[in-house]
Structure 1
Amino acid sequence: MAEGIKIIKGNIVFTPSFGQLEVFESSFILIEGKTVKGIYRELPAEYTNMAVTDYQNTLIIPGFVDLHFHAPQFANKGLGLDLELLPWLERYTFPEEAKYTNIAYAQAVYKQVVTELWKWGTTRVACFGTIHKAATAKLLELLALAGLGGYVGKVNMDRNSPDILIETTEQSLTDTEDYIKATVDRYELVKPIITPRFVPTCSPELMTGIAKLAQKYNLPVQSHLSENAGEIAWVKKLHPECQNYASVYHQFGLFGQQPTVMAHCIYNDDAEIALMAKSKVHVAHCPYSNNNLASGIAPIRKHLDNGIAVGLGSDVAGGHEVSIARVMTMAIQVSKLKWLATDKSEKFFTIPEVFYLATKGGGSFFGKVGSFEAGYEFDALVIDDSSLEVSACNQYSVEDRLSRFIYIGDYHNIVARYVAGAKIEQPQL
């Protein structure tokens, strides 16, 4: 085999544009190093003598991207979901995150987190850590050891936070820069990301300071925006000088000045949406969390229609599912409720559309990720869906098989995983 070339065969499915499903049945995908070289129904002559990994009648799809995941909240999955956002944070989330001063505890939980992400087919993830730089660096290390790609943020909080989980402004900035210096060039596929928890817990001085760090080290930014009505009212009280929630981030240099992803975005007004589009801010749509915490149904179709890039987020532990396939199905279901609530004016999502959000839509935050177009990094899942068949006599299209896997499949159906051209086995952490 030519050095650096892999050839994989199967039923190849991906979405080069929103809602457009490309299917290459029984075809070959060539990977050169980390990236896709091309897809061929018949191998070109120069490759016919090379070894082929033949996955036969499986589906080969891009790896799933999770744009919003709170790794330290993993232990809280399924807890406190009778509450709304702010009391849920106070009663469950903040006490759990305070435990991450203990690096042994953090390592034990984060090993499970990384294994679960691998298991459910998440190949790229944007993670929140905690305020603790050592624990957050450990999460980044474990993701890298597992071969996954991602961003991991040390959370910033210097106001309106419990005593067990608050920093001084100076400490927050110093620890954040220490964390960045220790990790920014350490791994190829996992990098730090600037992570103000949200406006209520970050003073103007802190937001100004971390924005300078984002620019100094050329790092992206992640946070929350317009998730809950009480949260929005709180932000308005803290920053009456600003037109809206988004403009608070913007005035401090945390809203598109560097690549930025904001989770939820349920209650954006037209001015915010215009600013998001102009600033090229990504949206992480988290339907499970929005349901569980009674936050609302995000107007994702409106964001897309305004040219805003959208991906999906599990939002563990506001969301109780790690599986992005299950997040896809929930995104469809809530969009149908939105369709009904808007007198059928805002169209609900289809499988090809949410498949795009789960792959190329979210992957765009990482660069050329989430598709099998030439030049894209080869992140892939190989899906054996034979166990989902009801009868051997049934003959389903590849499109129908993809839909069936997304709705009723699970991690048992994922028989191989690739990230940036490398096959990754179950993590031994």
Structure 2
Amino acid sequence: MKAEIINVGNEVLLGNILNENARYLSEKLASIGFELLCHKVVGDQAQNISQAFQEAWNRAQLIIFTGGLGATVDDLTKEVVTSQLGLPLEKNSLWEDHLKAIYKKVGIGLDEKRKKQALVPRGCTIIPNDNGTAPGVIIEREDKIIILLPGPPEEVKPMVEKSVLSYLKGKSPWNVIKTHVLKVIGLGEATLEDRIRDLIDIEGNPRVVLMAQPTETHVYVTVKGMDKDDVDSILKEWEGKIRDRLGFYLYGVNEETLEGVVANLLFEGNYTVSTAESCTGGLLADKLTDIPGSSNYFLRGIVCYSNQAKMELLQVPREILDSVGAVSEETARAMVENIRSSSSSHFSLSTTGYAGPSDDPDDPVGLVYIGLGTPQGSYCQKFNYWGNRRSVKEQAAVSALNLLRLYLEGHLQ
């Protein structure tokens, strides 16, 4: 089934807020086998909403709107869609009573403007909203499904999880739809695509789709069928094909995170780790301690931003800092070796680099050296990242985690 997402709201159109709904809904639809044609953002004007709806009607069987269901005069999604479909809006007494209780609790009366949220299209299915005042609705018309959801992501996500996904799964011609998300790091999206291009080009079932994330790429493998065992078998076969081609670049599946994978490797080996950070400013230690039970493996983290701190806390020789500078392989190695020695940890990680921005075009913004200390000696890798300050810090912290993963899995010699 082909789907389209339309996000309504001037605040999204003008970039005042991030369009979290588009990304979230895209991932959820892909996970249950829907083919997403496009997602669009339009302003609050009735004409724009109407035009977007007409275009989606001509090419998709599932149309999902977010935004424009509230009580203000510019919340027009419901009115425009029902007008196009020739459906009257009718008061839902149960939802009106729900609104009265909500507003009474905060000491506000339910005036006519707010009552508007209790008007729903005739014959629709209501999607309860436990975190807001505007309900969602599902409209079935001809061979189409139109779903209207409010705009705030904190309202949309619970509604989708509790109601929308189960409804959409019930509309599928397949008894079983399963998706595995294979998570890849250290391999650019274009290179990754080249390695599995023939699998991506196969249309239909199974379906392989790439989705780029800020520091990694996800490969969605969706299989549809009538028998669970058959679907599981095909999914296993295709996952195996992709694993063979990607090797150690593939670090996890589905809900697994890089932090969690590294933590499990440390737990399994009864290992400990410490960090010495400069350009990442403690972000690496934060990621390592995001996992429950991290006190069993994380011993110490030092943020040594200045050269003075590097010399005092990590005994980085002044000669190194004076001769090659703080952003160098020599400094990264000195940091990682000394934090490992002083903390008596099995492993250690260090980061030093230029996060930027800089007024000097000759400054190598994005240059980062990452050190790894091990019982067999120290490693250092040089990275050149692209992006703003926060992006460089995030990429560096993730690369450091991945370097430790690669060593623990036996991929570094």
- Give the TM interval when normalised to the shorter protein: under 0.3
Normalised by the size of structure 1, how large is the TM-score?
Answer: 0.27
Normalised by the size of structure 2, how large is the TM-score?
Answer: 0.28
* Higher normalized contact order (CA 8 Å, seq sep 6+, divided by chain length): 1
Higher gyration radius (CA): 2
